[in-house]
Structure 1
Amino acid sequence: MMSNENKKALIAMSGGVDSSVAAALMLKKGFDCMGCTMRLYENDMIGEDLFGTCCSLKDTQDARAVCDKLGIEYNIYHYEAEFTKNVIEPFVCSYERGETPNPCIRCNKYLKFDILYEKAKALGYDNIVTGHYARIEERDGHFYLLKAVDPKKDQSYVLYDLTEEQLSHTYFPLGEMTKDEAREIAAGYGFVNKDKKDSQDICFVPDGDYAAMIKRYRNKEYPKGDFIDLQGNVLGTHEGIINYTIGQRRGLGIPADRRLYVKRLDTENNRVILADDEDLFDKEVMVREFNWITGDAPSEPIRCQAKIRYRHKEQPATATIFADGKARIVFDEPQRAITPGQSAVLYDGEIVLGGGIIV
């Protein structure tokens, strides 16, 4: 339970079933609710019409229809400039550095739980509500981020960058339920989006073609270069650094007598280093911009579990958090394809301790 007594909540609504059910549940709890959709980018930026993305006209119509059904106010707020600055530009820069970023994490940190929360406060709403599958609990005067009850839907990984202050003004009503239960609630209310499919891709790259989006955004082509092996032998020609990620096998387009995988991206020399599968395993990972959710991080190494990508099962590890915002994570067993730009997130059982960006 949240400690604040303000019973007003701004619901971030994508037009999907999860945020719609979140709104219904908060209303049922007696909150004075208002729904809103954040308009984050112009459709010409991503090369799609408005009917092909999660900020589509159809999605805003669905969100408005749900609010009408619930009898609550609905508004659309424009944050295109803020989204470009805080999410799209860092996303593109990350790829240009040879990384593979997760823009949803930055969107949660800077847009949903920072800029939108400031908007909520200005409107007199002291709480932000989203349809994320995660939980928040207050224990001993601290607010903790926890995994969702349903492990198949758990989204705590993309929320590690929130602060305790942000958590104290946030509700995740779906954290205690399964997706099937959420759909049953939506059907019970007769929501127009009760059978709507979940979005799978990054919202501003709806076709999944990151490289094409980056080329459109920068209005440039990226130079070809050499594929090389670990001994420095040239194996072929790559199509530009932004087209590749660590662990990738498909789409390399080179003849080889065995399966080869991307081991590393050498942006300084515009080379893609290929190796065998067994060469992709490492025990140690360094991260930057580490966020320890409950404030001061421990000064001594800690035992924990850590995951290095959204679909990765957390593994036993020892983590050392440094005062400069960096951290070292040493896994008990080597992990495959540790990828710069992705986030390493630390857990203590069901509690999210914090995380940072892999370097």
Structure 2
Amino acid sequence: MNGGVVVGMSGGVDSSVAALLLRQAGGPVAGLFMRNWADDGSGDCRADEDRRDAVAVCGRLGIPIHFRDFSAEYWSGVFEHFIAEYAAGRTPNPDVLCNREIKFAHFLEAAHALGAERIATGHYARIDRHCGRWRLLRASDAGKDQSYFLHQLGQAQLAATAFPLGGLHKREVRELARGAGLPTAAKKDSTGICFIGERDFREFLGRYLPARPGEIRTADGRTIGEHPGVFYFTLGQREGLGLGGVRGFAQAPWYVVGKDVPGNVLVVDQDHDSRWLMSTVIWTAPAHWIAGAPPATRFECSAQARYRQQAEPCAVAVDDGGRLEVRFAGPQRAVTPGQSLVLYDGEVCLGGAVIERTDAPAPGGVGAAGKLAA
């Protein structure tokens, strides 16, 4: 290529329409299909199907398509961290790491090697330039906004990236795909973690973290069941506990409210909004700032501790090492170590950091919900 843009083709409708829009805008356009997960023999990998769809879309659009295998880089840059975090009792977010390490690092390098100036993806987010700096903005479609997963991007990456779908709603994307006769127009959106897909999560994780059964206890220390391994569960989780009617307790759902990893104990409660799950202060690892630095050492903004959560008002303090102390105006439910806390000023994503702990109280004296032992 001589300039132009390379589109990351996933085989889905979003990347297909991103390529369509760039093709219609003129200028050199090519597609690139990334293989990020090696076939593990389970029969659940959709990579071959997705590759065929990506080829078909590029053929329909009349643009060339390239292929790169990043599975080794994915294993070392994303998956090893994913397993280590689960083993420590935390709940990581591999999609954030995948964007930082693969899609906006190795993919960007591959595009530049092909002679392209920029890359594009089917993410729902927007980019603009304000006062000499690039900004990451929420998508127009609030229900599909993916800026949460992109908060680790920096100035160089944003300068070389386009998000053609940022101003569109999902229904418009489907309509454009149908109108252009793209073979992915009616394809179901992929869900879950990219390398797990539609398969059973516990069975998949069990291949790398063998079962280690232990006690399920109530917050006051009573043993009411057995779990297969504390690392299979996350704070606030309801499904998969295997607790039906427990004698002496109400017929109501149980929720995970704490994990004692060294003691191999899972702590549960029947209150959806259990006090053991509620916190107002979050402490994080050193933060990443999209502008390159925080707006101040102390400032107010809004933040969300998980994808699709409503951003809530908070006050942020940045220490000398770049770590954050974030105080929310109201209690937050099931804030989970290992997940990302992402900060916003209105529609502008400021950056974010990995959650280390919270001020949630310690249930049953076996380890605080927000202070999981490594």
Matches of 1:333 and 1:12, distance apart in 2: 40
Matches of 1:264 and 1:297, distance apart in 2: 32
The AA in structure 1 aligned to 2:310 is: K
SS in structure 2 opposite 1:175?
A: coil
The AA in structure 2 aligned to 1:229 is: T
SS in structure 2 opposite 1:113?
A: helix
Correspondence for 1:318: 315
Contact 1:288 1:327 in 2 (8 A): yes
**Superposition TM-score, scaled by structure 2 size:** 0.89
Correspondence for 2:100: 109
Matches of 1:126 and 1:11, distance apart in 2: 11
Correspondence for 2:156: 165
Cα drift, residue 49 of structure 1: 4.2
Correspondence for 1:35: 31
Q: Which runs of 5 or more residues in structure 2 are unaligned?
A: 357-374
The AA in structure 1 aligned to 2:331 is: P
Correspondence for 1:342: 339
Contact 1:341 1:357 in 2 (8 A): yes
Cα drift, residue 124 of structure 1: 1.1
Contact 1:298 1:321 in 2 (8 A): no
- Equivalent of 1:274 in 247, 268, 276: 268
Q: Deviations over 1:311-350 (max 9, x none)?
A: 2110111112233232111110001111111111100000
Matches of 1:142 and 1:309, distance apart in 2: 26
SS in structure 1 opposite 2:285?
A: strand
Q: How many residues align structurally?
A: 347
Contact 1:211 1:242 in 2 (8 A): no
- Equivalent of 1:21 in 17, 21, 26: 17
- Equivalent of 1:71 in 54, 57, 62: 62
Cα drift, residue 174 of structure 1: 0.2
- Equivalent of 1:304 in 294, 301, 304: 301
SS in structure 2 opposite 1:173?
A: coil
Correspondence for 2:172: 181
- Is 1:242 the counterpart of 2:231? The answer is yes
Matches of 2:222 and 2:27, distance apart in 1: 64
The AA in structure 2 aligned to 1:16 is: G
Cα drift, residue 299 of structure 1: 4.0
Matches of 2:261 and 2:200, distance apart in 1: 20
Cα drift, residue 121 of structure 1: 1.3
The AA in structure 1 aligned to 2:318 is: I
Contact 2:257 2:274 in 1 (8 A): no
Q: Deviations over 1:194-215 (max 9, x none)?
A: 1111111212112353222122
Q: Which runs of 5 or more residues in structure 1 are unaligned?
A: 1-5
Contact 1:227 1:274 in 2 (8 A): yes
Cα gap change, 1:120 to 1:323, in 2 (>3 Å): farther
Deviates more, 1:264-273 or 1:150-159: 264-273
The AA in structure 2 aligned to 1:30 is: G
The AA in structure 1 aligned to 2:338 is: G
Contact 1:299 1:322 in 2 (8 A): no
- Equivalent of 1:252 in 238, 241, 264: 241
* Aligned-pair identity (%): 41
Q: Deviations over 1:75-130 (max 9, x none)?
A: 11001100111111111111111112221111111000011111111111121100
Deviates more, 1:266-275 or 1:341-350: 266-275
- Equivalent of 1:98 in 72, 84, 89: 89
Matches of 2:163 and 2:283, distance apart in 1: 30
Cα gap change, 1:326 to 1:208, in 2 (>3 Å): farther
Matches of 1:103 and 1:199, distance apart in 2: 15
Cα drift, residue 251 of structure 1: 2.4
Matches of 1:294 and 1:213, distance apart in 2: 38
- Equivalent of 1:265 in 254, 259, 280: 259
SS in structure 2 opposite 1:143?
A: strand
Correspondence for 1:198: 189
Cα drift, residue 229 of structure 1: 2.9
The AA in structure 1 aligned to 2:257 is: K
Correspondence for 2:43: 48
The AA in structure 2 aligned to 1:173 is: P
SS in structure 2 opposite 1:249?
A: coil
Q: Deviations over 1:260-297 (max 9, x none)?
A: 32112111211112234322111111121411110111
Matches of 1:33 and 1:76, distance apart in 2: 15
The AA in structure 1 aligned to 2:211 is: Y
Q: In angstroms, what is the RMSD of aligned CA positions?
A: 1.6
Deviates more, 1:338-347 or 1:289-298: 289-298
Correspondence for 2:287: 290
Deviates more, 1:207-216 or 1:95-104: 207-216
**Superposition TM-score, scaled by structure 1 size:** 0.92
